[in-house]
Chains A and B, each alone.
Chain A
Amino acid sequence: MLTWFRLTWRMHRAELMLLLAAAGVLALATLWVALQMSATRSAELACIQEANGVAGQVSHLRCEDFQSTVEILMTAGGFLSLGASAAPFVLGLVLGVPLIGGEVEGRTASIAWTLSRSRGRWLWRRLVPVVVIAGVAVFAIGLAGDALARSYPAFDGADPGFSGYGTRGPLLAIRAVAVLLIGVAVGALIGRALPAILLSAAVCLVVFIGLSIVSDRWMRAEAIPLELGPAQTGASQVYDMGYRNDVTGEIVSFKDYYQGPSGGPMDGGEVPGMTMVAYVVPGSRYMDFVLRESGVLGGLALLAGGLAFLVVNRRRPY
């Protein structure tokens, strides 16, 4: 197994060095920002407590320095999260596409496939190290992203729920593996690295737009009406708002509510017995949706991997 990794390193040294260095810098920078954020928030809360006697009150003027540091860290965190959301795509495509595409393009597939006992075995030995390397690198970024999301002032270490969805956690590693296998399959079909990267990027764009639409529909279907207070906690995913009749439990939309009983617009103010509610998916259900997306992506990855094996077994090596 070690030989597989050594060979992979030698074949993709330049790409691996660049990508692993970038992934390392991204993960470490994210972790550093998370730690700084936690430390600054602790100091800020202590300052407020000292100034007002009660933690959680409006910042005292002399504690505002901490607030500006938190804002700078949040801006940096925003850029790092953007990098984290792009990492699965960059690593997956750049490492996946040339696996077969590069060999066919460089005319070395012909020799490699002839010398190997079977093309399937050849591909397996090439695939496993790259999948492991990409998965582990992106997983590290995901873990650092988790720490960052928890450190934000809105959560202060608590569960961030749906906040930062797609920029943190193991989901990033699953995405990287799926993108990588799509890249391998497209590379095998096209047999040229750069055009295959473009085509794989287009395929991934379509897959992930489709996935986000499906995921959005799932969430809408499972959103529950909650009073505005509870709906705002736990980083819930808010979809719609309306008013609930406290007696009948019936929920009316904003439009119907503000039109009033006569059909004309109401002159403002709250109607007694009506409570404002929001349709939300509570943050506690974050893992359910991660598992669903992982399942879909896992299925797609298996399909793409299978297609890559099929193409390698059947295609000409040039």
Chain B
Amino acid sequence: MSRLTTWVRLSFALQRWELLFMVGGSALLVAGMLWIAWQANAVVGIDPGCFGSDGGARACERLVQQFNGLYDLGTKLLDVGFGVPFGMGLVLGVPLIAREIDHGTADMAWTLSRSRVRWLAPRIVFVALVVIGLLLVIAIASDVVAQAIQPGSNLAADFTWYGRRGGLLVMRGLLALGVGVAIGAIFGRQLPALLVAIFVSIAIFTAVSLGMDRWLETDAVATPYVVELGGGKQLGQRIELADGRLVSFTELSPSGQTNIAIEADGMVYTSMDENGLVSGDPVGRMVSLVVPGDLYPTIVLRESGVLGGLALLAGGLAFLVVNRRRPY
């Protein structure tokens, strides 16, 4: 027990300011989210009918206006929640090794420790636990506020605010932490490492996001493009030919010089006249590629797996660098 207490105390003392800042910031964010959720639930509770079929009634005007204000604030906080994992992971991860090298204390610490891995492991575990704990609370609060400002929806099967709520926040924070620790170990100086880690994180998350979108296409189903999404995620539009094949607009006309006409019912025709009216033969039907909302938990798990794997890779790189590099 005393070893555990010493480990916690020492780990906290090493990054006291950053940890206090993160705990304080997270507490403010969670408090804000819960307050908005409480207010939104209270407004909806006054007259639930105003947020259903009677939404347009004059008597509901004030309530709807009040709710819209809360909705705007709620989405802003969800946007902040999107950025928090990156900030938290990098601010806590970069100085973990970089500060020791920057200050010239790594030399002594690595010499005194039985092995560099044994020196690094408890430090990473402590910070990872803090990141998981704080982001888990933010993830739950973000789900609560999202549900409150989107009453009547089943957000457990809905892609609305994907990546701005729920467990993905935790995995993103862990990846940012791994990237921060690894780059801090490579550069050995806090501020330059922080700048590089920001650039690298943006590049990694953009690549992951694009890759996941391509992967999602395998789960997408073609639905008439006028149909409501119902919590699904739209990936784009295609033309369904008479033989059932799905083609993109570019595939339909590789030169890009299309003059096709699309009717309100989604039917696509080969050409239109100068007034924009249909003048050719039918080609097919325009459809939307949609990932059904039911797949939301599966997709979140899948992306969490990818992010977790990358976080482990980054952590492994940090151990490798610490084992091999000079302590200055």
* Chain A contacts to B: CB under 8 angstroms: 14-15, 18-19, 94, 98, 102, 105-107, 190, 192-195, 197-199
Is B18 touching A198 in the complex (CB atoms < 8 A)?
A: yes
Stretch at the interface among B31-39, B166-174, B191-199: B191-199
| Cross-chain contact of B95 among A19, A106, A194 (Cβ < 8 A) | A194
With both chains docked as a complex, state the minimum distance between the C-beta of B24 and any C-beta of chain A, in angstroms: 10
Knowing A15-B195, A94-B195, A106-B102 are in contact, say whether A198-B189 is a contact too (CB < 8 A). Answer: no
A-B contact count (CB 8 A): 43
Is B17 touching A14 in the complex (CB atoms < 8 A)?
A: no
0 or 1 for each of B134-145: is its CB under 8 Å from A? (1 = yes)? 000000000000
Is A199 touching B21 in the complex (CB atoms < 8 A)?
A: yes
Is A105 touching B103 in the complex (CB atoms < 8 A)?
A: yes
Docked CA distance A14–B17 (Å):
24
Q: Which residues of A contact B288 (CB under 8 A)?
A: none
Is A193 touching B21 in the complex (CB atoms < 8 A)?
A: no
0 or 1 for each of B174-208: is its CB under 8 Å from A? (1 = yes)? 00000000000001011110111000000000000
Number of B residues near A (Cβ < 8 Å) is: 17
Knowing A18-B196, A198-B91 are in contact, say whether A98-B191 is a contact too (CB < 8 A). Answer: yes
Give chain B interface residues in 1-53, CB to chain A under 8 Å: 17-18, 21
Is A19 touching B195 in the complex (CB atoms < 8 A)?
A: yes
Q: Which residues of A contact B102 (CB under 8 A)?
A: 106
Is A194 touching B18 in the complex (CB atoms < 8 A)?
A: yes
| Cross-chain contact of B18 among A14, A19, A102, A195 (Cβ < 8 A) | A195
Is A94 touching B21 in the complex (CB atoms < 8 A)?
A: no
Docked CA distance A94–B190 (Å):
11
CB nearest to B195 among chain A residues: A18
Docked CA distance A217–B84 (Å):
31
With both chains docked as a complex, state the minimum distance between the C-beta of B278 and any C-beta of chain A, in angstroms: 17
* Residue with the highest number of chain A CB atoms closer than 10 Å, among B94, B190, B196: B190
| Cross-chain contact of A192 among B17, B187, B194, B196 (Cβ < 8 A) | B17
Docked CA distance A98–B195 (Å):
14
Q: Which residues of B contact A199 (CB under 8 A)?
A: 21
Q: Which 5 residue pairs of A and B lie closest in terms of their CB atoms, listed nearest first?
A: A195-B17, A14-B192, A198-B21, A18-B195, A15-B191
Chain A to chain B contacts (Cβ below 8 Å), 15 pairs: A14-B187, A14-B191, A14-B192, A15-B191, A94-B191, A94-B195, A102-B191, A106-B102, A107-B103, A194-B17, A194-B18, A194-B91, A194-B191, A198-B18, A198-B91
* Chain B contacts to A: CB under 8 angstroms: 17-18, 21, 91, 94-95, 99, 102-103, 187, 189-192, 194-196
Q: Which residues of A contact B18 (CB under 8 A)?
A: 194-195, 198
Knowing A94-B195, A194-B95, A194-B194 are in contact, say whether A14-B21 is a contact too (CB < 8 A). Answer: no
Q: Which residues of B contact A190 (CB under 8 A)?
A: 17
* Residue with the highest number of chain B CB atoms closer than 10 Å, among A18, A105, A194, A197: A194
Is B17 touching A193 in the complex (CB atoms < 8 A)?
A: no
Docked CA distance A23–B103 (Å):
28
With both chains docked as a complex, state the minimum distance between the C-beta of B107 and any C-beta of chain A, in angstroms: 15
CB nearest to A106 among chain B residues: B103
Beyond A197-B194, A198-B18: 11 further Cβ-contacts under 8 Å?
A: A14-B187, A18-B196, A19-B195, A107-B103, A193-B191, A194-B17, A194-B18, A194-B94, A194-B191, A195-B18, A198-B91
Docked CA distance A198–B25 (Å):
10
Q: Which residues of A contact B187 (CB under 8 A)?
A: 14
With both chains docked as a complex, state the minimum distance between the C-beta of A299 and any C-beta of chain B, in angstroms: 28
Is B91 touching A18 in the complex (CB atoms < 8 A)?
A: no
With both chains docked as a complex, state the minimum distance between the C-beta of A270 and any C-beta of chain B, in angstroms: 23
With both chains docked as a complex, state the minimum distance between the C-beta of B255 and any C-beta of chain A, in angstroms: 12
With both chains docked as a complex, state the minimum distance between the C-beta of A305 and any C-beta of chain B, in angstroms: 21
Knowing A106-B103, A194-B91 are in contact, say whether A18-B17 is a contact too (CB < 8 A). Answer: no
Q: Which residues of A contact B190 (CB under 8 A)?
A: 193-194
CB nearest to A64 among chain B residues: B257
With both chains docked as a complex, state the minimum distance between the C-beta of A179 and any C-beta of chain B, in angstroms: 15
With both chains docked as a complex, state the minimum distance between the C-beta of B72 and any C-beta of chain A, in angstroms: 16
Docked CA distance A15–B95 (Å):
15
Docked CA distance A15–B190 (Å):
10
Q: Which residues of B contact A98 (CB under 8 A)?
A: 191
CB nearest to A93 among chain B residues: B191
* Residue with the highest number of chain B CB atoms closer than 10 Å, among A18, A192, A195, A199: A195
CB nearest to B198 among chain A residues: A90
Q: Which residues of A contact B196 (CB under 8 A)?
A: 18
Knowing A194-B95, A199-B21 are in contact, say whether A14-B194 is a contact too (CB < 8 A). Answer: no
Knowing A106-B102, A106-B103, A198-B91 are in contact, say whether A18-B21 is a contact too (CB < 8 A). Answer: no
Is A14 touching B91 in the complex (CB atoms < 8 A)?
A: no
Docked CA distance A131–B17 (Å):
27
Docked CA distance A94–B198 (Å):
13
Q: Which residues of B contact A198 (CB under 8 A)?
A: 17-18, 21, 91
CB nearest to B259 among chain A residues: A61
